C-alpha cells in the first residue's frame, strides 16, 4: 500500500503545472484591452484546477477575443466567424474526456453566430463559454455590433447607431434549458476569477458575459460604471459567490440573489442602469445533450459487425 501511495504522489508531482505551462506567446491585444484580464483569470483557473494542457481545448471564432486560444498552451481551435459553438459541440460530443472552453465576441456570438448561441443554450453541453462583450467590432476596425449602445458612432454608423442594443443576459435567460448565466467585468480581477471558476465548475453550458473595455475604439463607453462603483450591482449568495470583505467595501451596492431563481435572474438581467456582477442563474439539474445521446458500451467492432449484419439481413434475398 505504501508503494501505491508513493506512486500517486509522484503522479501528482508530474501533473502539477505552473502558470507558464499555460502561456503561449505574447498576446497581441492592445494595451488596456479587457481580453488581457480574461486571459490572466483563465490561465490562473487552469493552474489552480490542474487542468492537463493536452486534455484542454479552447475553441473560438473570429475577432479580437477569438485570438485567445493562440495565447494558451493547450489545444486550441481558432475557426471561422460565428461558428465557435457548433465546433465546440462537435469536440464535446466526440470526446467527453476533454475540457472545452469557448471564447467568442459580441459580433461572433450575438450577430453572425446568433443562431448557434440560441441552440447551444438549448443543447446544454458541458462547456464554459466566455462572451467577450466590448460592444464594438474591433478587428475589422470599429463597426457597431448588436450590443453597441444606441447612438454609438462607428464607421458604419457615423451619425450614431439607431437600434437599442441586444441584451446578451436577457436573451440567454430566455432560452429553454438555460443552466448557467453569469456576468463579470474585466476591471475587477478578483470577481472575474471567482466567476470564471464557478462557471468552470458548473456541469452544463456555462455562459459568462464579460463586460470588456476596448481602449482603441470605445475607450469611454464603460467609464460611468468604471468610475462609479455604485453602478455595479454585486450579487452575493451562499448558493452563488460570497463576496470578500475587500469587494464588499468597494462595491457597496450588493444584492442577495439566489441563483436558482430564474424569474429574479431575468429581472436583474434587464437592469441596464447598473451592471450586475456575479451568478444570475444556475441549475445543475438540466441534462446535458451529450449525456442524453450517449450510448455507453455499444461502440465495439464486434457490436458494429453484429448491428451491420442485422441491418443487412432486413434487405437480403438468400438463394432459394
Residues engaged in binding other proteins (CB under 8 A): 24-25, 53-55, 57-59, 62, 69-70, 72-80, 83, 85-95, 97-98, 115-116, 118-119, 293, 295, 297-301, 303-312, 315-320
Residue closer to other proteins, measured from CB, 84 or 275: 84
Residue 271: CB minimum distance to other proteins, A: 30
Residue closer to other proteins, measured from CB, 12 or 163: 12
Measured in residues, the chain has a length of 320
Residue 122: CB minimum distance to other proteins, A: 9
Q: How far apart are CA 147 and CA 155, in angstroms?
A: 16
Residue 201: CB minimum distance to other proteins, A: 21
Nearest 10 degrees: Cα torsion 70, 75, 79, 83: -120
Residue closer to other proteins, measured from CB, 122 or 203: 122
Q: How far apart are CA 175 and CA 152, in angstroms?
A: 28
The cell 448565466 sits on which residue? 181
Residue closer to other proteins, measured from CB, 92 or 213: 92
Residue 38: CB minimum distance to other proteins, A: 16
Report CA-CA distances (Å) from 192 to 41, 208, 235: 7, 10, 13
Residue 184: CB minimum distance to other proteins, A: 24
Residue closer to other proteins, measured from CB, 118 or 286: 118
Residue 79: CB minimum distance to other proteins, A: 6
Tell me the DSSP string of 164-209.
Answer: PPP-HHHHHHTSTT--EEEEEETT-HHHHHHHHHHHHHSSSEEEEE
Residue closer to other proteins, measured from CB, 5 or 312: 312
User: Residue 64 gets which letter from DSSP?
Assistant: S
Q: How far apart are CA 180 and CA 197, in angstroms?
A: 12
Amino acid at each position: 500500500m505504501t508503494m501505491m501511495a508513493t506512486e500517486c504522489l509522484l503522479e501528482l508531482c508530474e501533473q502539477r503545472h505552473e502558470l507558464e505551462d499555460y502561456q503561449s506567446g505574447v498576446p497581441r491585444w492592445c494595451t488596456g484591452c479587457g481580453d488581457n484580464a480574461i486571459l490572466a483569470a483563465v490561465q490562473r483557473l487552469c493552474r489552480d484546477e490542474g487542468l492537463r494542457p493536452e486534455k484542454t481545448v479552447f475553441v473560438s471564432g473570429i475577432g479580437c477575443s477569438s485570438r485567445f486560444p493562440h495565447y494558451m498552451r493547450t489545444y486550441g481551435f481558432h475557426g471561422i466567424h460565428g461558428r465557435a459553438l457548433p465546433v465546440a459541440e462537435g469536440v464535446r460530443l466526440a470526446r467527453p474526456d476533454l475540457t472545452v472552453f469557448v471564447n467568442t465576441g459580441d459580433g461572433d456570438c450575438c450577430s453572425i453566430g446568433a443562431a448557434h448561441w440560441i441552440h447551444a443554450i438549448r443543447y446544454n453541453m458541458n462547456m464554459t463559454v466566455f462572451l467577450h462583450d466590448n460592444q464594438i467590432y474591433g478587428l475589422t476596425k470599429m463597426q457597431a455590433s448588436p450590443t453597441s449602445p444606441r447612438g454609438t458612432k462607428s464607421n458604419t454608423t457615423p451619425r450614431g447607431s439607431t437600434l437599442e442594443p441586444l441584451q446578451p443576459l436577457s436573451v440567454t435567460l430566455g432560452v429553454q434549458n438555460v443552466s448557467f448565466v453569469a456576468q463579470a467585468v474585466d476591471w475587477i480581477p478578483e470577481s472575474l476569477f471567482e466567476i470564471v471558476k464557478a462557471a468552470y465548475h458548473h456541469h452544463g453550458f456555462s455562459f459568462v458575459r464579460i463586460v470588456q473595455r476596448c481602449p482603441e475604439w470605445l475607450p469611454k463607453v464603460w467609464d460611468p460604471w468604471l468610475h462609479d462603483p455604485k453602478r455595479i450591482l454585486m450579487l452575493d449568495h451562499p448558493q452563488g459567490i460570497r463576496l470578500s470583505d475587500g469587494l464588499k467595501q468597494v462595491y457597496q451596492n450588493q444584492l442577495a440573489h439566489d441563483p436558482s431563481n430564474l424569474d429574479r435572474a431575468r429581472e436583474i438581467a434587464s437592469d441596464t442602469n447598473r451592471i450586475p456582477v456575479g451568478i444570475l442563474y444556475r441549475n445543475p439539474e438540466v441534462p446535458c445533450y451529450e449525456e442524453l445521446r450517449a450510448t455507453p458500451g455499444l461502440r465495439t467492432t464486434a457490436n458494429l459487425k453484429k448491428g451491420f449484419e442485422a441491418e443487412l439481413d432486413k434487405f437480403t434475398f438468400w438463394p432459394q
